[in-house]
Structure 1
Amino acid sequence: MTFQRAIGVAIVLAAGLGLAGCGGNNRTTTSAAALSGDEFNASRSNDVGTYTQSSIWDVFGPGKTEQTVQVNRYLWAASLDVLGFLPIESVDPFTGVIVTGYGTPPGGGRSYRATVHIKDPALSARSLKLAMQTSGGRPANPATVRAVEDAILSRARQLRIADDNL
């Protein structure tokens, strides 16, 4: 009797696995950004973006969710350099995001926090997205944000020229 019961359980499990393999479940993946380097690559899986079909059999195959993107290393280093007076709360090299805490610039009286997103390998203004907030929770003056963006871009160009001279 126990042998027949074991066969019955095995059949039920096989049928369950077969049905699970037939059903699809959408999961998402997207590209990620790298820590530094013009052509430096990094990969990450299970983010948000493109839809892919999955099944139970994906467990046994190679990972299909890895994708590669690039971030400009000069913009990354310049952002950390220019915003060095702000405490860093989080850095995500896979998405190219730097989040700082509140801090007061040298010679300034108002406290700011910043979020930097570097989204392209090119050393250009379109690769850099900066959001700044005052300690009161309001967005910083657009002129201030523009001045910090210009300082980051200028510093990135200086770093690139210094690399070429080596």
Structure 2
Amino acid sequence: MKKSLISSILLLFLVSCAQIQALQDEPETYDSQKQKILTEKAEDRDINLPPGSTIIDELRFQGFLAIGGFGSETNLQVNSITFNVALDKVGFMPLISVDSMSGIIVTDWYSLDDGQSRIKINIRVVDQEMTDESVTVSLFTQSLDGDRWIDQGINSEQSLKIKESILTSARSLKIASEL
């Protein structure tokens, strides 16, 4: 009786260990391989990304889309021409975040004159169309007062000029590409 009990426990232990090994031997999916490669490249270039970054953690973002009703197969529909033109327009500034999937570009603060004032631009390409509603631009300004930066708010006039410049260039490129 004692031998059969020990044999049963030993058999149960061996079977459960074999199942653990089988799980470890499963091939990686395409998404996990892609995420692994992106992580390795970021580490090779000494890029420190925060946990949950949209650049590396694409799987979590796809899960969010599925919860929102978009489905995991659906990408957000952002006009790549408009997005690339917008990126080109602000490419001279230091960039904090660029996400082509959601169409968002965020610059860091950039000083224009003797370090007394600075600007920061947020751009969002919303859809495939090239209408005024397809792009939102916010240009934030600050001025230096002693050793403190004072917010001056959003410069609506300059924001509108940047938006119009992006849309005009994007429309021209689209027309040229259709010739």
Give the count of matched residue pairs.
122
CA drift of 1:6 comes to: 4.8
Contact 2:94 2:110 in 1 (8 A): yes
Query: Structure 1 pair 156/110, CA: closer, same or farther in 2 (3 Å)?
Result: farther
Question: For the Cα contact (< 8 Å) 2:138–2:155, is it kept in 1?
Answer: no
Q: CA RMSD in A?
A: 3.2
Specify whether residues 146 and 92 from structure 1 end up closer, same or farther in structure 2 by C-alpha distance, changes over 3 A only.
Answer: same
- Deviating beyond 4 angstroms after TM superposition, the runs of 4 or more aligned structure 1 residues are 6-10
Question: Could you say which residue in structure 1 is the equivalent of 2:153?
Answer: 139
- What letter is aligned with 2:74? Q
Pairwise CA distance, 1:8: 7.0
Q: Structure 1: which amino acid aligns with 2:8? A: Q
**TM-score where L is the length of structure 2:** 0.54
1:36 is matched with: none
Cα distance between partner residues in 1 of 2:162 and 2:112: 11
The residue type paired with residue 163 of structure 1 is S
8 Å CA contact 1:86–1:104 kept in 2: the answer is: no
Shift of 1:105: 5.4
Change over 3 Å in CA distance of 1:49–1:161 after alignment to 2: closer
On the 8 A contact 2:66/2:72 being kept in 1, the answer is: no
1:1-166 to 2 correspondences below 5 Å: 1-6=5-10, 44-47=58-61, 48-51=64-67, 65-104=72-111, 110-135=117-142, 136-165=150-179
Q: CA deviation at 1:9?
A: 6.9
More helix by share: 2
Distance in 1 (alpha carbons) for counterparts of 2:121 and 2:136:
10
* Cα distance in 2 between the residues matched to 1:141 and 1:120: 24
Q: 1:70 to 1:111 in 2, by over 3 A?
A: same
Task: Please tell me whether the aligned partners of residues 46 and 65 of structure 1 are also in contact (alpha carbons under 8 angstroms).
Answer: no
User: TM-score when scaled to structure 1?
Assistant: 0.57
Q: Deviations over 1:32-66 (max 9, x none)?
A: xxxxxxxxxxxx543235539xxxxxxxxxxx733
Identical-pair percentage: 23
Alignment check: 8 A CA contact 1:82 1:155 kept: no
How far 1:3 sits from its partner (Å)?
Answer: 2.9
Task: Judge conservation of contact 1:100–1:114 (CA < 8 Å) in 2.
Answer: yes
Partner SS, residue 69 of structure 1: coil
Partners of 1:45 and 1:119 in 2: CA distance: 22
Larger radius of gyration: 2
Residue 79 of structure 1: how far off its partner (Å): 0.6
> Any stretches of 5+ residues in structure 2 without a counterpart?
15-57, 143-149
Q: Which runs of 5+ in 1 are unaligned?
A: 11-43, 53-63
- Name the SS for the 1:151 alignment partner: helix
Counterpart secondary structure, 1:139: strand
